[in-house]
Amino acid sequence: MTEQTGAGPSSEVYLHIDRLTKKFGSFVALDSVSLDVYEGEFICFLGPSGCGKTTLLRAIAGLDIQTSGTVRQADADISALPPSERDFGIVFQSYALFPNLTAERNIAFGLENQKLEKSAVDKRVNELLELVGLPDQGPKYPAQLSGGQQQRIALARALATSPGLLLLDEPLSALDAKVRAHLRHEMKDLQRRLGVTTVMVTHDQEEALTMADRIVVMNHGVIEQVGTPTNIYREPDTLFVADFIGAMNQVEGRANGANGVSIGEMNFTSRNHGLTSDAPVVAAIRPEDIVPQGVGDYSSSDTNLENSLEVEIESMEFLGSFWRVSLKNNALGGATLVADLSINAMRRLEVTTDSRIRVKLPSDRLWVFPPAASA
C-alpha cells in the first residue's frame, strides 16, 4: 500500500461506522454515532475534551470495544475483534516508543517474526526512516531524540506493517507550537503520498482545519457536523460548531420571521433559520464577515443600508495583519460586536478609538441559531 501514490480520497467507503454507542456505567460516551470514511481520506475527529472523539477512535481500534453498533473496515465486520486481529497502525499522544529500543528497533518491532529476511527488515526500516525524514537517527534511543523526531519515529513504526488504516490520537499536542505547525504540514503531505486512510483525533481546530479532508465535529457523544474544513467553517450547522470553530460574535435576540432577527431595537435580515417569530435566538457572525462601509450618515434611500448600522469604536487591538476592533451601538441592547478590519480599511476610514463608523452585517453571513440551553 505504501508504494501506491495516493491521489486523495476516492469514493469507496473504507470504514463504515453504524450507530455506535459506548457506555461507561450509566455515562454515555458515544450516543449512536454513524459515519462513513472514504478510502484514502484524512478525517479529523474534533471536539472539546470529553466529547467522545477518543472513545470513538479507541472503538475503531478495538482498544475499548463499543457497547452496541457495528464497525466495518474494508467490507469486513470487525465490531467485536480484539485489536490484534484488526488492520491499523496507531500513534498515541505519548508516542509510546519503547524506551530501551533504538529508533530502528522500534520501527522494526512489528516487522519481526513476519517471516521476513533480516535484510528485508533492515531495508524496510531504512525506507521508513527516509520516509519520515530521519535517515540518520536510526541508532539513537528515544530519549536522545527531540519531541518532533520521536513523533516521526512513532509514525514510522505505525506505518511499518503497511496498515490499511492509520489512527492518530492527538499526535501533535505534546509538541511546542513551531514544531507542531511544521509537522502538521509534513504529516499531511506524507498521508497524501501514501494514500493511507487516516483518522486523527484532535482538540486543536487549527490542526483539523489545515490537515483534514473532512472534519467530524463532536460534542457530548454525538456528531454535530461532518464536512470539509471550509464547509465546517463557512456553513456551521449548529451554534456549537459555529462557536467551537473560529471566532464568532454571538448576540442574543429574537426571531423575526423565518429569515430575520431582532437584536435590541434593531431588525436584521439573516439566513433562513425557520424558527417561529419571537422565539429567543442567538445571532452569530464572524468578525471578518462584518463589512466596514464608511464614516458619517447615509440617506435612508440607500439600498446598501439593509443590515447596516452605525457603531462606536470601543477599543482596538493590533494583531499584525489586521485590527480587531470592538464595536458598540446602544440600540443593540448593550451587545458588543467584534470585527476584524484590514489595515487598508482602517487607514481608509481613519478609525480611531471613540470614532464612529458604519458597518454592514451581510445577511448571508448572519446566522440565527436556537440558544444552546434549549438545543
By CB under 8 A, what part of segment 187-226 binds another protein? 222-226
Residue 154, φ and ψ in degrees, nearest 5? -60, -40
Choose between 69 and 371: whose C-beta lies nearer to another protein: 69
Residue number with CB closer to another protein (100 or 353): 100
The DSSP line for 225-271 is EEE-HHHHHHS-SSHHHHHHSS--EEEEEEE-STTEEEETTEEEE-S
Which CB sits closer to another protein, 147 or 362?
147
DSSP state of 276: P
- Our CA angle for 333, 329, 279, nearest 5°, is 35
Backbone phi and psi for residue 337, each to the nearest 5 degrees, phi listed first: -110, 145
Q: Say if strands 249-255 and 260-263 run parallel, antiparallel, or are unpaired.
A: antiparallel
Residue 61 binds to another protein (criterion: CB under 8 A): yes
Instruction: Give DSSP secondary structure letters for 132-163.
Output: TT-TT-TTS-GGGS-HHHHHHHHHHHHHTT--
Task: Please tell me the number of Cα atoms within 13 Å of 350 on its side-chain side.
Answer: 2
- Chosen residue from 163, 171, 195, 229 binding another protein by CB under 8 A: 163
Which of the ranges 25-33, 46-54, 191-199, 239-247 carries the binding residues for another protein, by CB under 8 A? Answer: 25-33
**Among the listed residues 2, 10, 70, 363, the single contact to another protein using CB under 8 A:** 70
Contact with another protein (CB under 8 A): which of 9, 52, 89, 148? 89
Q: How far apart are CB 114 and another protein at their closest, in Å?
A: 8
Q: How far is the CB of 66 from another protein (least distance, A)?
A: 6
Taking CB under 8 A as the rule, does residue 151 contact another protein?
Answer: no
* Contact present, 89 and 146 (Cβ < 8 Å): no
For cell 506505518, the residue is 159
Question: According to CB under 8 A, which one of 2, 16, 18, 360 is a site residue for another protein?
Answer: 18
Residue 28 sits in the site that holds another protein (CB under 8 A): no
Least Å distance between CB 88 and another protein?
A: 6
Query: Degrees (nearest 5) of the Cα angle 278, 280, 286?
Result: 115
> Between β-strands 27-38 and 13-24, what pairing exists: parallel, antiparallel or unpaired?
antiparallel
Nearer to another protein, 134 or 313 (CB): 134
C-alpha cell at 353: 478609538
Q: Which of 68, 272, 315, 355 binds another protein (CB under 8 A)?
A: 68
Answer for which of 1, 4, 8, 19 binds another protein (CB under 8 A) is 19
Among 13, 28, 74, 81, the residue binding another protein under the rule CB under 8 A is 81
Closest to another protein by CB, 144 or 272? 144
Separation of alpha carbons 181 and 169, rounded Å: 17
CA–CA separation, 55 vs 52, rounded Å? 5
CB nearer to another protein: pick between 164 and 264 = 164
Q: Residue count at the site for another protein (CB under 8 A)?
A: 56
Q: Does 144 bind another protein (CB under 8 A)?
A: yes
Span of 5-13, 91-99, 241-249, 260-268 interacting with another protein by CB under 8 A: 91-99
| Residues 40, 74 contacting (CB under 8 angstroms) | no
Q: Mark 36-55 with x for binding to another protein (rule: CB under 8 A) and - for no binding.
A: x-------------------
Distance CA 193, CA 177 (A): 25
Residues that bind another protein (CB under 8 A): 18-21, 31-36, 61-63, 65-70, 79-86, 88-90, 92, 94, 96, 98-101, 109-110, 112-113, 141-144, 157-158, 160-161, 163, 222-226, 237
